[in-house]
Amino acid sequence: MKCYSVNLGCPKNLVDTENILHELSKQNIKFVYNPQEADILFVNTCAFIQKAIKESIHTILEIAQNKKENQKLIVAGCLISRFKNQIEPQIPEIDVFIDTNSVDSISLDKKFNYCNSARQFGVEKRIVTTYPYAYLRISDGCNHRCSFCTIPQIRGPYREKSINDIKDEFLQLIDSGIKEVVLIAQDTSCYNNNNLSALLKDLSKINGDFWVRVLYLYPSSITDELIETIVFSKNIVPYFDIPLQHVSDKILKLMRRNYSKKFICELFDKLSRYDVAIRSTFIVGFPYEEEKDFKELLDFVQNYKIDRLGAFEYSKEENTKSASYSASVAYNIRRKRRALLLSTQKNLSKENLKRFVGKKLKVIVDSPKTARSYLDAPEIDGSIKLKHERSVGEFTDIVISKSSFYDLFE
């Protein structure tokens, strides 16, 4: 049998997809890039916000529309976990449903692959699809109760892998030829009772030429020890992905984020002492966000000159606390604020990148003519355009000749 797969959403979803591909491979199923050649059509969905839900449903319907009579359509992921009772009657073309707790124990003969208890984690067996880098999930679920977020509904409570299991999985990835391991979770910094640095120190002691990068650091769990570990440890990339969501104390309180603007500024002041890359994400148009709140956010971004930034318009999600907030921000205002934030960041990024012109950077080659430095996480940040083709997975030093808004050039 042959399978055609589509993955939607974040790196955590991709790891789930890689788990499922491994499970299918154990059943002697091969993988193809053309849906017309496949016996199985597989879609792993995202349902974090309305935009992601629409994309997931559109993708399923598009594939279902072209589905042949002898093909089986499997749909997995967050859309299934969040809307178990609604999807089946709406899209009867789906043959197999898999929720996020069942990705490593699926049966194609069973219509509903559901598990009511939160999935527990050990070493994950999967088919890595992202060479020369790979994501390594250190935990799943979340115990924070941010007022806008659906993750606890979808992924359940926080639970984590042991350090030994993570090290075993890490070594398997390195032994298979992976050059950059990206640690992910809903909240990486709370790992091991806010002692992620212990894990990083263990990984940095492993022999080899590789990078370790950490994504999704929850602000209030970032300790001085963690900062110093990321900055000074061998093979750990000095890159801080810190989703702040906002900086106005009023909005942070409404979001149920357990930190203040003062805390954020003190944290970013500490980070500014080192040569590090900082990425953050923000939500604009949150209920009760006034012009002064947005200006406060804009001023913060301009003052701290964050290297990489993502911005989202607020999305009202059912069964979240913020869905009950009465003072909504008009759609056109949300769009305008996001556009202004991104255009401001675009100009700041252009100025930030100029500092690398004429400097030598160690890079990892992602494709024959593109690479990344410590500044850029795979898939979400910029890249470095290479003059000449190089081998994928190679580490090399290059001199930067010019920069653009988001990218650098050899």
Q: Binding site for [4Fe-4S] cluster: what residues are annotated?
A: 10, 46, 78, 142, 146, 149
Contacting residues for 344 by C-beta, under 8 A, at least 6 apart: 298, 301, 302
Q: Which long-range contacts (CB under 8 A, 24 or more apart) does 250-255 make?
A: 250/288, 250/293, 251/286, 251/288, 251/289, 251/293, 254/147, 254/286, 254/287, 254/288, 254/322, 254/325, 255/146, 255/147, 255/148, 255/283, 255/286, 255/322
Question: Residue ranges for the binding site?
Answer: 10, 46, 78, 142, 146, 149
Helices (H), 205-330: 224-232, 249-255, 261-271, 291-304
Taken as a whole, the chain contains a residue count of 410
238-267: burial string, b at 16+ Cβ within 10 Å, e else: bbbbbbbbbbbbbbbebbebebebeebeeb
Q: Distance (Å, rounded) from C-alpha 383 to C-alpha 216?
A: 20
Cα 73 to chain centroid, rounded: 26
Helix (H) or strand (E) holding 90: helix 84-90
Q: For residues 314 and 320, is the Cβ–Cβ distance under 8 A?
A: no
Query: 10 Å Cβ neighbour count for 139?
Result: 21
